[in-house]
């Protein structure tokens, strides 16, 4: 029979494995309950309970040594000019659930630079001189290939074969803007 003591001194009530603790003490011979209690910080047979495990530190509170050029993370140290900084950046733990990156606009590709036109919404521009605008950046690759073959390139079978092999990102980069 093992004597188990709670991490909370003097606790009386139901504990793990339906053990009943009276004034912080219970007894059992169930090896599974004993193993669980040992791992959960309970004292076993007179051994003191393990101290509570420390919480993961907030990285903003940790002192570090910078080696090389300093790097800045917009989730930790946001600045007013940051392009699409995470929500709650600089206000909450950057590795916690309160800080998250906003979704991509219309499910499309993430722009790598801020737009120069404040009215730019991230969509591919309408191609002037062509009767059909480019598909949305979120459109499937098959739609992009069909648009390029139908509206952009000439009727050269070699060019069509090349277009059929291209990825959506390649098609957008070469023909979308």
Q: What is the pLDDT of residue 30?
A: 92
Question: What are the helix (H) ranges across 8-156?
Answer: 31-39, 141-151
Instruction: State how far the Cα of 130 lies from the Cα of 151, in Å rounded to an integer.
Output: 7
| Cα angle 7, 10, 15; round to 5 | 60
Q: How many helices (H) and strands (E) does the chain have?
A: 4, 5
pLDDT of 77 > 50? The answer is yes
The tokens of 78 are what?
């946001």
Lowest-confidence pick of 3-17, 143-157, 161-175 = 143-157
The tokens of 134 are what?
């480019």
pLDDT greater at residue 167 or residue 116: 167
**pLDDT tens-place string over residues 8-66:** 888 899 998 889 999 989 999 999 999 898 888 888 887 776 666 667 777 778 787 76
The residue behind tokens 């090896």 is: 31
Instruction: State how far the Cα of 157 lies from the Cα of 149, in Å rounded to an integer.
Output: 10
Q: Give helix 141-151 / helix 157-165 axis angle, nearest 10°.
A: 160
Q: Distance of CA 58 to CAs 20, 42, 136, 140, Å? A: 37, 27, 40, 41
pLDDT of 128 > 50? The answer is no
């Amino acid at each position: 029979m093992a004597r188990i003591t709670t991490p909370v001194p003097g606790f009386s009530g139901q504990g793990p494995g339906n053990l009943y603790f009276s004034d912080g003490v219970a007894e059992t011979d169930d090896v599974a309950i004993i193993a669980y209690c040992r791992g959960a910080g309970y004292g076993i047979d007179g051994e003191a309970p393990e101290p509570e495990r420390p919480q993961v530190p907030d990285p903003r509170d940790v002192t570090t040594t910078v080696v090389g050029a300093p790097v800045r993370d917009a989730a930790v140290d946001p600045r007013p000019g940051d392009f699409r900084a995470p929500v709650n950046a600089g206000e909450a733990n950057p590795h916690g659930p309160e800080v998250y990156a906003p979704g991509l606009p219309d499910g499309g590709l993430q722009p790598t630079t801020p737009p120069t036109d404040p009215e730019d919404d991230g969509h591919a521009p309408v191609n002037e001189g062509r009767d059909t605008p480019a598909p949305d950046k979120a459109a499937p690759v098959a739609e992009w290939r069909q648009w390029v073959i139908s509206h952009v390139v000439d009727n050269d079978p070699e060019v069509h074969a090349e277009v059929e092999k291209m990825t959506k990102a390649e098609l957008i980069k070469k023909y979308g803007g």
